[in-house]
Every structure is written in C-alpha cells, then in structure tokens.
Amino acid sequence: MEKQQSVLTGKRIIVMGGSSGIGLATAQALAAEDAHLVIVSGNLERVEQALATLPGSHEGYAVDLGKEENIRLFFEKAGAFDHLVYTAGENLRLSEIAHTDIPKAREFFNIRYWGALAAVKYGASHINAGGSIVLTSGIAGARPGKGWSLGASICSAMEGFARAMAVELAPIRVNIVSPGVVRTNLWNNMSAADREQLYKTVGDSLPVKRVGEATDIAQTYLYLLKQGFGTGQTIVVDGGAVLV
C-alpha cells in the first residue's frame, strides 16, 4: 500500500534548539514526515551531529540564541518557511528564593524567554500562509515545587506570551507544549546517580509510572503543527503529574 502523504511533506520547518533533547526528537519525527528541517542551535558540532541523524537533506546553522541581533540576522537570511518550533533552553537551575542570585536568575531568561520572543519577533513575518509557531514551557508554572521559582516564572511567562501572540499574529497559529519531567540533557547539571534517582522517584509517583522520553513530547509538536484549527493553547504532556 502506498504511503499516505503527510500534511507536513515538503514543509520548511525551523527548529530552534533542535540539536538535542526534545528539539532533536521533534526534528527526527518531522523528518520522518518528509518535512524539510532547518536545525538551529548554539553549537555547530552538535548541529552537524543532529543533521547526521536525519534522513534526507536538511539545513543547519549555529546561532547564539541568547543574542537578539544574531536571531535577527538569522531570520533576515533564512527566507520564507512554514512553521517555527522553539525548544531551546539552558540547563535547569533549582534554588530556594533566599539563596537566589538575581543577576544570574536574569540570565536564565535569556534563551528560554527572550530568545523565544526574538525568534517570534523576527521570524513571524517570514511564515507562509497556513503556518504556525509552537513554543515550549513546562508544568512548573502549574505545579511548582520547592526551589522552582525561576522555572515556574519562565513557564508561566511563556504561556502568557503564546496566548498574546495567538491574538496578535492571527491567522498564524501560536501554541505551546508544556512537558513534565523528561529524560533529556537539561538535567545534566545533576550527577548521573541523582538524575536516575529523580527519574525513578518522579516516575513512580506518576499515573503512567515513568518519566517522559523526548520522543513522547515530540509527538505533541507534530500534532500542533498538523492541526489547523487550535491556537493559543497550552498542551500538557506530563504523565499525569498535575493530577497527583
């Protein structure tokens, strides 16, 4: 039986933060749908490694997503495209408020929030008719734990931004994915033993009895890119964490 063509076949999709973790898993899932990928990340070697995992011919660029001017110049040269996916972010930082270094806390927003805002600012005008933007937050905004003041703040800010952009940029659709704990390199600031203990503790507490994998979350980005009616929505994919 002939393979049914995906609605994403031939679509040019920019994945910012696409060299690792959820972004890479999303790029790989999109490549399987015969989309044309543009991988953007801060490290050229990782961009090239990511491209090597994708079937077919795709593009990759090293761009410092913590700097507005670099993002502006990238989109100035990138040309027209169909969808923008933004998954970039620094490693997670947990700190109780009494011990929070505020100048360092501001830096946490550089890529996760200001980078996403700049990507939307400079990228939106290049999106083809029928295109969309999918951003990334996390369940810390809805279910913060002790030490999650920064994580909760950035997740809530991103979700508010996505709703505002869905109104302002219409008819471009703007949505956001809110993952729970996922096994990715964002936890690499912890020791291997501590990471595995986190995954086990969190996984055992969830209705699905495991933490997420990047491939689980990637399917949510695909859904939001494929569907043509929902906008301004936050899709939670957390194994049921907000319920328990």
Q: Is 61 helix (H, G, I), strand (E, B) or coil?
A: strand
Bridge partners, 59 (sequence order): 38
pLDDT at 212 over 90: yes
Token output for 138: 């996390």
Tell which CATH classification among 3.30.70.360, 3.40.50.720, 3.40.50.620, 1.20.1070.10 matches the domain 12-243: 3.40.50.720
Distance, CA of 42 to CA of 66 (rounded, Å): 9
Q: Is 8 helix (H, G, I), strand (E, B) or coil?
A: coil
Average pLDDT over residues 57-70: 97
Q: What is the pLDDT of residues 92-135, one digit of tens each?
A: 778 899 999 999 889 889 999 999 999 999 999 999 999 999 99
Distance, CA of 116 to CA of 109 (rounded, Å): 10
* pLDDT recorded at residue 1: 57
* pLDDT recorded at residue 26: 98
Percent of the chain with pLDDT over 90: 83
Consecutive H or E run containing 216:
helix 214-226
Output the pTM of the full model. 0.94
* pLDDT recorded at residue 187: 77
Q: Are 21 and 186 in contact (CB under 8 A)?
A: yes
Amino acid letter, 139: I
pLDDT at 25 over 70: yes
